[in-house]
Every structure is written in C-alpha cells, then in structure tokens.
C-alpha cells in the first residue's frame, strides 16, 4: 500500500509540473509536445511496476500508422513509453476527469462512433497528424478485449492514411501486438490476465488501484513488418492483413516464443527500418 501511495504522489507532482509545460508546447507547436508525454508515460510505467519487452522495432518511414490490439488503459502507457505517438480514441475519454485532460494534451484524435457522418472530418484530423510526422496509433478492434484473444479489426479509420497519401504518394501501416504475459514473474494464464486487462464494464479507478496493488506486470510489445500503402490500396484487405499479423504476434507472445529486448533499447536502436510489404490496389 505504501508503494501505491508513493507512486500516486510522484505522478501527482510530475503532473503538476508537466501539464502546464505540455500545454505551452502544444500551443506553440514546440518539439517538446512529443517528448513530454513520452517522459511522463515512461515514469508512469515504472511507478506502476510494468516491465516492457520489445520484439522488432518501430518503422522509421513516415507517414506511419500503427494498428494495434487493445485490452487496457495500460496499452496507452506502454506504447507511449516506447516511442512518442498520438492516439485515436473514443470521444467519451475526452470527458473523463484528468484522463481526458492527459489525452487532449497528447493530441489524441477523438472519434464519436455514434456519428458515422463525422468519419471524414476525423480522417482529416488523423491525416494532419500523420502529415506532421507523428506516428498515430489506431486500436484496430475499436474496443478492448480480455487480452486473451484479438477481436476482428474495423477498416473505416484506415481511410485516414489515404487522405495523407493523396499529397505524399505513399505511407506505411505497421501491425503492433501488446500482450500481457507475466504477473510477479509468473506466467499469467487466461484466468489472471484481467489483472492487466480493463474491458467491458470494469471500473477504471478500481482497476487502477488493483494494478498499483499487484504491480510487477510484464508486457511484450511486438512490431511487425510495415506495410507500404498507396492511394489505391484496398482498405479492407489492409485491415485483414494487419489483423492476421497482430493475432499471430499476440499468440506467439502469450506462448513465450522468440527473444525480446528492453524498451529502452528500442529508442537507442541504430539499425535501419524493417523491410516493407507492398499491397495490391483496391478492387473496382
């Protein structure tokens, strides 16, 4: 319990300092608008006792859209602690106390799933983030799962990349898997994965307290091969390919296969970008 109070105290102090700095950075369009959230989430990850292991590496090509599975609010902290990113999230999060503020300051793009006519407007905002060079994270399932499986991906918001491609000619989509694998150093198993997963009607505050109390969670993040996308690329086929890749990587991570690296090693990686895979044009 003492550890939990200490973690909350540290994050409160950092938030008091970081929120105005990030607000100024966003308003003035400073480079620090990307690095302040990365530093904040890196600290949060340590305070929550989450250990990140990485397979592969984020692509260096731009514009870049990460398409990932989703099972917890921890996914935000985990991915943001590896590389500075912008998220696509449901509009309800913008109204959450404190968490909504954090999301806005990280320049999250909010989507109202009940207003499909706004998809074009949302795609334009996502395209603007991509055009500025920010990697954008899309949770392909459109909802959170229990962490034991990957749900079917939705293809609608992949159209945002096409808005960017109309000006830049080509872009890249990289599948990403987030899999929670161990608790207190012991393999989780299906029954223990809800310690990390937060889905359905689970209360966010109660789940946060549980994570602080349990601590020592291991998560494996796998970056697949980037897919090269052109304006004529078939959006639905792209969704299927990323879904299949994320599912394979998640199954491998939960089974404990393949070697991983610490998250810090990814930021210092001096290797070139992974090879890309080109996709066929959209069928007429």
Q: Is the peptide bond before 67 cis (omega within 30 degrees of 0)?
A: no
Rounded Cα–Cα distance for residues 217 and 183 (Å): 5
Residue 161 C-beta-side C-alpha neighbours within 13 Å: 30
Interacting residues of 105 by C-beta distance below 8 A, sequence separation 6+? 19, 22, 23, 26, 37
Sign of CA dihedral 28, 34, 36, 41: positive
User: Which segments within 224-263 are labelled E, that is strand?
Assistant: 227-229, 261-262
pLDDT attached to residue 103 = 94
Interacting residues of 153 by C-beta distance below 8 A, sequence separation 6+? 67, 140, 141, 142, 239, 240, 242, 243, 246
pLDDT attached to residue 157 = 73
CATH code for residues 49-278: 3.40.1130
Q: Which residues of the chain, if any, have pLDDT below 70?
A: 1, 113-119, 159-160, 162-168, 257-284
Q: What angle do CA 243, 248, 253 make, to 5 degrees?
A: 125
274: left (phi over 0), alpha (psi -120 to 50) or beta: beta
Residue spans of the domains in the chain: they are 49-278
pTM of the model: 0.87
């Amino acid at each position: 319990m003492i550890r939990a109070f200490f973690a909350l105290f540290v994050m409160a102090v950092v938030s008091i300092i970081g929120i105005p700095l990030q607000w100024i950075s966003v308003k003035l369009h400073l480079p620090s608008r990307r690095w302040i959230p990365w530093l904040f989430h890196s600290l949060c990850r340590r305070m929550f006792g989450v250990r990140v292991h990485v397979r592969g590496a984020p692509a260096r090509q731009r514009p870049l859209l990460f398409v990932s599975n989703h099972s917890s609010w921890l996914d935000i902290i985990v991915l943001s602690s590896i590389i500075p990113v912008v998220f696509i999230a449901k509009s309800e999060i913008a109204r959450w106390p404190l968490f909504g503020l954090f999301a806005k300051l990280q320049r999250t793009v909010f989507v109202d799933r009940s207003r499909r006519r706004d998809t074009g407007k949302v795609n334009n905002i996502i395209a603007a983030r991509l055009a500025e060079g920010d990697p954008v994270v899309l949770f392909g399932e459109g909802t959170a799962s229990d962490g034991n499986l990957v749900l079917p991906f939705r293809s609608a918001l992949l159209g945002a990349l096409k808005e960017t491609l109309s000006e830049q000619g080509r872009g890249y989509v990289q599948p990403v898997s987030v899999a929670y694998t161990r608790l207190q150093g012991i393999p989780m198993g299906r029954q223990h994965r809800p310690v990390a997963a937060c889905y359905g009607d689970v209360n966010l505050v109660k789940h946060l307290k549980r994570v602080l109390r349990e601590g020592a969670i291991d998560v494996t993040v796998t970056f697949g091969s980037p897919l090269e996308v052109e304006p004529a690329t078939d959006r639905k086929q792209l969704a299927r390919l990323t879904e299949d890749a994320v599912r394979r990587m998640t199954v491998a991570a939960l089974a404990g296969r393949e070697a991983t690296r610490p998250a810090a090693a990814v930021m210092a990686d001096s290797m070139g970008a992974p090879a890309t895979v080109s996709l066929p044009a959209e069928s007429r």
